Structure 1
Amino acid sequence: MKHERLIALDAFRGATIAGMMLVNNPGSWTNVYRQLEHARWNGWTFTDMIFPSFLFIVGVAMTFSFRSRMQEGSDKTKLYWHIIRRTVIIFLLGVILNGFPSYHLATIRIPGVLQRIAICYFIASLIVLNSGIRAQSIWTVSLLALYWMMVKLIPVPGYGAGVMQPVGSLCWYVDSHVFAGHTYAYAPAPGFDPEGIVSTIPSVATVLFGVLTGHWLQSKYTSKEKAMWMFSGGIIFILLGLVLNIWLPINKNMWTSSSVC
């Protein structure tokens, strides 16, 4: 069976990769445009939108991939094995790249970009294969609400609840204990990891936003109607994120619920 590709998704993926190459290789690190650097903590720049875009793309592509495999005769068991294999491969590649070239096992970073992609892909895949669009929407909102409540209400020993700083936040506390000595060396604070455990929860929601968009792109509406509603939805979510920023700062390091919007 010949697979039809979604040109818009390929274009977005290509643009995201080009953006990644630009921010990772700006030419001279002594003179870098502010938008080609990550926000130091709260706020966002062009660079901070690259990784979320990749996770969003994973979600969109997932809906097309799963539908194609089901049409070719794959059952859920085969899909589960496909998901597990892909998850393990991507995760291990991330760890291998983190250790290159020295591979000091005592300090090798365990979390990472590819590791987060693998975990988010795995969790989102299970949700997609076992729920409908309505349930997936509920999962998306619930994950964002759960994360918000966790970082605001769960007290961190010695710091209390609701700390939204590199040191003292729930994200920092969990990662510094679980991955002691194996976190990102250039993080805002020792022990903190921008691809850590707790902040993976809203990252799954980012993938699910892509999944819901994938469903919409496969609906029977015209291309013009799809584009119009996606543009309108994008504006609404930008405004929602700015409003939520009042109570929960937009922060890519912690992948706050407001930043997902």
Structure 2
Amino acid sequence: MILVNNPGDWGHIYAPLEHSVWNGCTPTDLIFPFFLFIVGVSIVYAMETKAAVVSNHPKIIWGALRRSVILIIISLITQLLFHPGFAHLRFPGVLQRIAVVYFICTIIYLKTSQKTRDWLIVILLIGYYVVLNFVPVPDTGHASLEPAANIGAWLDRTVFTTNHLWSESHTWDPEGLLGTLPAIVTGLIGIRVGSWLKRKDRDDNVKVSWLLTYGVLAIVTGLIWGLFFPINKALWTSSYVLYAGGWAIVGLGICYWLIDVQGYKKWASPFVAFGVNALPAYILSNYIPHYLNKLKFGGATIYQTLYAPYFSPFNASVASAVVLVLLIWLLMWILYLRKIIIKV
């Protein structure tokens, strides 16, 4: 996402590094659900032992709430530093959705069985499909899947008002309230997979085989459902949940086989440096470009000086983004070598 969010020139971006305009799914559209998926997996690994003792639950829940609130505050403060004032402060957002999904999935994991969670996945996905496709939107009197006309956009305008939404028209938000419900399913799928990986009664090769099988089935099911309920990240449609979740399961299955089963670990170290300090990396990806763009050399920006004269427009744009990724990675690598982990 650091690469995607910081091109040198927003007018020249390679297609795989852009979000879909509306329906459809690019590689970029998979990153956010992958993160929510791995949040679900991590809940199992972080909480399984403590969750077995019911008396630990209040402490775990309060800890999850504290982390969630801090994430939301960090997001809002970051906005205010760049755009002072509350008049147009965006209330929904990426960190906000991660915080809410993490908190709700934590409670569901602690207080329900896996069978109940499986039923929740089915109920939420089908229920979301019914709501978006058949419940009339109060503004128009009919259901819609268009950006500003769907019932999720109406709910966000009603709750947050148009001054506090993301889109340029201030009529809808890709991280809105209603779309958080299927996003929770993405986290629950991660919990399902994390619980499977933690099982002691299954051989590693069996685990990998089933992960790849279920992942492919989810992808195919998502594609089929997408024929009449389009795959759409902004709406976080049920078909998108299954399609993106399937790729997440396949990706994790391959990584698990390479790293844990086959023992090929050294190649992953650069990615681990990002992973253990994901939050500071994400925050720095907002701050560093903001201040670098203020630097001028003879009246020209860094991009105009170092990249634009030497590459084609598209390559100059992606080269600038790649250098930023490497710069932030270097900072994370230093923290990693010093065993410094910044978390909430």
Shorter-chain TM-score category?
A: 0.7 to 0.9
1:238 counterpart residue number: 219
1:111–1:193 Cα contact (<8 Å) kept: yes
The answer on 1:85 being equivalent to 2:49 is no
- Superimposed CA distance per residue, residues 19-74 of structure 1 (whole angstroms, 9 cap, x where no aligned partner): x2221234443321101000000001011001001100100000011124447997
The answer on 1:145 being equivalent to 2:126 is yes
Q: 1:199 aligns with which of 176, 179, 184?
A: 179
2:25–2:233 Cα contact (<8 Å) kept: yes
* CA distance 1:62–1:172, shift in 2 (3 Å): same
**Deviation at residue 90 of structure 1 after TM alignment:** 1.2
The answer on 1:255 being equivalent to 2:236 is yes
1:184 counterpart residue number: 166
From the CA coordinates, give the structure whose radius of gyration is larger.
2
Q: 1:32 aligns with which of 13, 16, 20?
A: 13
2:174 partner letter: P
User: Root-mean-square deviation (CA), in Å?
Assistant: 1.7
2:319 counterpart residue number: none
Give the whole-Å Cα distance in 2 for the aligned partners of 1:233 and 1:172: 32
The answer on 1:95 being equivalent to 2:112 is no
Give the whole-Å Cα distance in 1 for the aligned partners of 2:51 and 2:234: 37
2:117–2:188 Cα contact (<8 Å) kept: yes
Give the whole-Å Cα distance in 2 for the aligned partners of 1:238 and 1:82: 34
Give the whole-Å Cα distance in 1 for the aligned partners of 2:98 and 2:195: 20
Q: 2:38 aligns with which of 30, 45, 57?
A: 57
2:164–2:170 Cα contact (<8 Å) kept: no
Give the whole-Å Cα distance in 1 for the aligned partners of 2:167 and 2:222: 29
Give the whole-Å Cα distance in 2 for the aligned partners of 1:255 and 1:118: 16
**Deviation at residue 132 of structure 1 after TM alignment:** 0.9
1:214 counterpart residue number: 194
Structure 2 portions without partners, runs of 5+: 243-344
The answer on 1:42 being equivalent to 2:9 is no
Give the whole-Å Cα distance in 2 for the aligned partners of 1:72 and 1:150: 37
2:144–2:151 Cα contact (<8 Å) kept: yes
1:182 partner letter: H
More helix by share: 2
2:51–2:110 Cα contact (<8 Å) kept: no
* CA distance 1:48–1:196, shift in 2 (3 Å): same
Give the whole-Å Cα distance in 2 for the aligned partners of 1:99 and 1:132: 41
Instruction: Look up the SS of the partner of 1:100 in the other structure.
Output: helix
Give the whole-Å Cα distance in 2 for the aligned partners of 1:182 and 1:237: 35
1:95–1:111 Cα contact (<8 Å) kept: no
Give the whole-Å Cα distance in 2 for the aligned partners of 1:209 and 1:144: 12
Give the whole-Å Cα distance in 1 for the aligned partners of 2:53 and 2:159: 42
Q: How many residues align?
A: 240
Give the whole-Å Cα distance in 2 for the aligned partners of 1:98 and 1:153: 36
**Deviation at residue 78 of structure 1 after TM alignment:** 1.1
* CA distance 1:157–1:77, shift in 2 (3 Å): closer
Give the whole-Å Cα distance in 2 for the aligned partners of 1:164 and 1:71: 42
The answer on 1:22 being equivalent to 2:3 is yes
Which moved further from structure 2: 249-258 or 60-69?
60-69
The answer on 1:130 being equivalent to 2:119 is no
1:170 partner letter: I
2:136 counterpart residue number: 155
Give the whole-Å Cα distance in 2 for the aligned partners of 1:24 and 1:214: 29
Give the whole-Å Cα distance in 2 for the aligned partners of 1:129 and 1:73: 8
